[in-house]
Amino acid sequence: MTQFSLDDDTVTVVVGSGAGGGTIAHELARRDISVVLLEAGRHMTADDFVNDEMAAYDMLSWLDKRDASGSWRVAKDHPDVPVWHCKGVGGTTLHWSGCCYRLTEDEMRARSVFGDIPGTTLIDWPITLEELEPWYDKAEKKMGVTRTNGLPPLPPNNNFKVMYAGAKALGYDSVSTGRHAINAVPYDGRPASQQDGFTICGDKVGARWSTQNVEIPKALATGKLDLRPESRAVYVEHDETGRASAVLYVDSEGVTHRQKARTVVLAGNCVETSRLLLHSTSARFPNGLANGWGHVGRHYLRHVVQTVWSVFDKPVYMHRGEIMAGYLDEFATHDPSRGFAGGYYVELNSMGLPSMAGLLEPGWWGRDFAQVVEQYANIAGLFMSGEDMPQADNRITLTDRSDAFGVPVANIHYSNHPNDVLMRNHGYKTMRAIHAAAGAKRSIETPPYPATHNLGSNRMAARAEDGVLDGNGRAHEVDNLFIADGSNFATGGAVNPTLTIVALAMRQAAFIEGQMAAGAL
């Protein structure tokens, strides 16, 4: 395996190996750029993965304690783990649903389209959909997204058939099994899905795209990637000119190392990237690296996400097949007549019995609860993903407690904007109506669970006064520091974010190559 010296200041250091970090590591390596990839988790393989939802969660998740505050119910129900992402080579692509949808032009112009909504910090993206579309094309081809590039759709499972029947009965025409980075047929050396319901558990079969089974092996094959698992980044240093010069990290033996760098790319998810920047203080950046304008950690977004479970007279067996292979975009466009700004998508959802029971209604117990759980085989699930409103005080901050690595524990503060509440209630009615039209005898609205679509806390903005990064994901205040995870989103849109993260990372790699060739990096 390739190894670069700790004193090699020609390397690009990438922190985090998920959708953004793993992708940009490969894209840079194949461009003959030397990369050191630091990943806090261990390097697992298909042999390590288990077809057991709860065991997979324990194996793959980032379970370090966090704090939560704000009015969101997650702060009450899940105060120690208010957000969810993975820790391992591959990041959260180890445990994701594969949904791949594009942002729309209106979503990238949210401030212009929605107008001035009191209490929000809406801005337009500093790049256009026209600029991003070629990179969406490349990302879809890279990931093998169904219904693109001549690839067939995933087959419908029973949960989808319930959704389809209800949607069609209500006159909704856009319902389909959607677009996913899960193979319906063999593609790019990966087999087709076995439709066993366990793709999300690390994916022993390898049918789903992840950086663990696609991008990182290809990057390693170039000889330009030095992969360092179990390496927790704790601090980013800068030189006398203010440029990022090294990353300090702690290895599996507890030894601290300093890796010098030509360029630094942070891709550790919304919370960890913000936490690392806020911790990297100096006389030049007393409030954290690249935080002269105070935007690091702010404008945090999680999407308006809710689930409805419905009980039917006959078995559904929703756990069979791909768990989110169903999609409806009737409510995705901005329509002020609904009483709120932005839109939302309705998608499939399914969980194993233990997970569903634990999240139905935390604290719910007794005969009524037992009767619902006993009918698990007859339950179908729907999920909504909608655009939440950025607010300055929804943010990641540091507490006065430190972890084993000496880095302060993060607090995630989030309160719903009134627009979010209106959208959520509309989505609940839509999902209940779809299931009712398909014959549901009872529906249960589930409160939000730990956030998975973590976005916006180090957002791109045309002006440094409005965000941390420019339109290339480069820090306004540190010209060789980039961010390649969902925290760089200017606004959240409504769709699942992974495809956009990958497309932006590919675009960013091309920009970095150009800057290096021009001598600017």
Per-residue model confidence as pLDDT tens digits over 299-330: 999 999 999 999 999 999 999 999 999 999 99
The pLDDT of residue 358? 86
pLDDT band at 259 (very low <50, low <70, confident <90, very high): very high
Q: Is residue 7 part of a domain?
A: no
Q: Is residue 1 part of a domain?
A: no
Interatomic CA distance for residues 111 and 431, integer angstroms: 28
Q: Could you read off the pLDDT of 400-428 as tens digits, one per residue?
A: 999 999 999 999 999 999 999 999 999 99
Total of domains in the chain:
1
The pLDDT of residue 491? 98
Containing structural domain, residue 262 = 12-517
The pLDDT of residue 308? 97
pLDDT at residue 248 tops 90: yes
Q: Is residue 4 part of a domain?
A: no
The pLDDT of residue 194? 93
Q: Could you read off the pLDDT of 200-213 as tens digits, one per residue?
A: 899 999 999 999 99
Q: Is residue 296 part of a domain?
A: yes
Q: Is residue 5 part of a domain?
A: no
For 402-414, the three-class secondary structure string (H helix, E strand, C coil) is: ECCCCCEEEEEEC
Q: Could you read off the pLDDT of 40-61 as tens digits, one per residue?
A: 999 999 999 999 888 999 999 9
Output the six-digit token pair for 407: 């880095």
Name residue 261's amino acid. A
pLDDT at residue 12 tops 90: yes
Contact 414, 70 (CB under 8 A): yes
Contact 25, 484 (CB under 8 A): no
Give the list of residues 6+ apart from residue 282 with CB closer than 8 angstroms, or none.
238, 289
pTM for the predicted model, two decimal places:
0.98
pLDDT band at 449 (very low <50, low <70, confident <90, very high): confident
Largest CA distance in the chain: 70
Q: Is residue 153 part of a domain?
A: yes
Q: Could you read off the pLDDT of 452-509 as tens digits, one per residue?
A: 999 999 999 999 999 999 999 999 999 999 999 999 999 999 999 999 999 999 999 9
Q: Could you read off the pLDDT of 288-298 as tens digits, one per residue?
A: 999 999 999 99
The pLDDT of residue 162? 98
Interatomic CA distance for residues 143 and 22, integer angstroms: 13
Interatomic CA distance for residues 263 and 517, integer angstroms: 13
Q: Is residue 460 part of a domain?
A: yes
Q: Could you read off the pLDDT of 359-390 as tens digits, one per residue?
A: 888 889 999 999 999 999 999 999 999 999 99
Output the six-digit token pair for 135: 């990179």
pLDDT at residue 333 tops 90: yes
Per the prediction, the chain carries an average pLDDT of 96
Q: For residue 497, give the CATH number of its domain.
A: 3.50.50.60
The pLDDT of residue 448? 86
Interatomic CA distance for residues 225 and 332, integer angstroms: 40
Name residue 351's amino acid. M
Interatomic CA distance for residues 31 and 27, integer angstroms: 6
Q: Is residue 6 part of a domain?
A: no
The pLDDT of residue 359? 86
Contact 321, 308 (CB under 8 A): no
Interatomic CA distance for residues 200 and 389, integer angstroms: 29
- DSSP H or E run through 435: helix 418-437
The pLDDT of residue 1? 84
Contact 21, 37 (CB under 8 A): yes
